[in-house]
Structure 1
Amino acid sequence: MHPELSAFLLSTAVIFVAELGDKSQLMAMTFAARYRARDVLLAITAATLIVHLASVGIGRFIGSAFAEQQHWITLAAGVAFLIFAAWTLRGDELTDEEAAKARKAKGTALLAVGTAFFLAELGDKTMLATIALATREPWFGTWIGSTLGMVAADALAILVGAILGRKLPERVIKIGAAILFAIFGLVLIGEGLGWIG
């Protein structure tokens, strides 16, 4: 399989899972109650493209700067994914203040939603997961895949919220996402230690 396609598929899956139950999904549902779903998705996509482009840039820099120590980078990425598993189990909730800001956002939908998502994603686990992926995977596939994974997960939240009027079953999603993060982290640690691949 072509490396860019592999990076695209991997990052789409990993970021989709990372976004499930994330506060960004809750923000998407809140904004969708105020603005048209299309406008919310366009704003999410624009903000995600920018944040994840910066993320892959950081990841590529780290990967290039420490190319001689690739096994250490792989180990660090594996540990990071184990941390993401714990972070996912802990949960990520939208505070009352964040929900109020989302409801009261003024201006056009694209500007209000895009700015809120951009700020919410800085330092979020999806940004950090994208950085970790980009240390070892081609940047373009990682960038487009991570963006698609996040937008797809947020679109799912908007759709489910609109149809069912309630949240996704959070406990099941948290456990499933945490297990997938842990598996991915253990595989990376195995690769870094030379046990796999």
Structure 2
Amino acid sequence: MDAFLSSTLAIAIAEVGDKTQLLALLLAARFRQRGAIIAGIFIATLVNHALSAWLGQWLNDFIPALWYPYIIGGIFILLGLWLLVPDKEEPVATGIFRYGAFVSALVLFFIAEIADKTQVATVVLAAKYDNFTMVVMGSTLGMLIANVPVVFAGRWLLKRIPMTLIHYSACALFIGLGVATMVWG
């Protein structure tokens, strides 16, 4: 259960203010089919994070167990610091919009998550907990917790959440997880 809860919390917090939240806002502004957008986000995240968790599990086979706490803890700390670096807005391929809300959300979210903080965090969480199913379920739920409200009430939420507070809190959480991993393994 630790793998599920840690993955949910870590990903939900890391996702706040991320470029994929801005993408969710863009999709919600473009399409009225909220359910189709959410379904696209869900499937894209599930597939992307399953691949990430698989990579984390695979890495477990090659890293000596003695090194786990230090490597994983160090990556958590680096992820925490990475959260303080603002995302750069990337151009959106608007041609995809002609395929509708579901396909647009599916393709754009899958691409946006490649090498993103939450994807890297999912790899690390899978390596740390060695529980593929719970990490994938937790990280996917975390993405939905962060993005579904944006689909429904994005503009209203983004005006009321101080991003610097969120980024510093998320940074502290990841650094705390890193230190705890190094100290208690």
Q: 2-side partners of 1:59 and 1:165: how far apart?
A: 32
Q: 1-side partners of 2:151 and 2:18: how far apart?
A: 13
**Aligned alpha-carbon RMSD (Å):** 1.9
Q: 2-side partners of 1:140 and 1:27: how far apart?
A: 27
Does residue 9 (structure 1) correspond to residue 1 (structure 2)? The answer is: no
Cα distance, 1:78 vs. partner?
1.0
Cα distance, 1:33 vs. partner?
0.6
List gaps (5 residues or longer) in structure 2: none
The residue aligned with 1:176 is 169
Q: 2:108 aligns with which of 109, 113, 116?
A: 116
Q: TM-score normalized by structure 1?
A: 0.85
The residue aligned with 2:72 is 77
Sort the Cα spacing of 1:60 and 1:187 in 2 relative to 1 into closer, same or farther, 3 A. Answer: same
Tell me the percent identity: 32
- Whichever residue aligns with residue 134 of structure 1, its letter is A
Cα distance, 1:136 vs. partner?
2.5
What are the equivalent positions in structure 2 for 1:72-151 lying under 5 Å apart? 72-95=67-90, 97-98=91-92, 101=93, 105-137=97-129, 138-151=131-144
Q: 1-side partners of 2:77 and 2:155: how far apart?
A: 33
Q: Is the Cα contact below 8 Å between 1:56 and 1:142 reproduced in 2?
A: yes
Does residue 50 (structure 1) correspond to residue 43 (structure 2)? The answer is: no
The residue aligned with 1:195 is none
Q: Is the Cα contact below 8 Å between 1:48 and 1:147 reproduced in 2?
A: yes
Q: 1:29 aligns with which of 8, 25, 30?
A: 25
CA offsets per residue over residues 31-60 of structure 1, 9 Å max, x none? 111112222111000000000110111111
Q: Is the Cα contact below 8 Å between 1:30 and 1:103 reproduced in 2?
A: no
- Whichever residue aligns with residue 135 of structure 1, its letter is A
Cα distance, 1:105 vs. partner?
2.4
Cα distance, 1:168 vs. partner?
3.3
The size of the alignment, in residue pairs, is 183
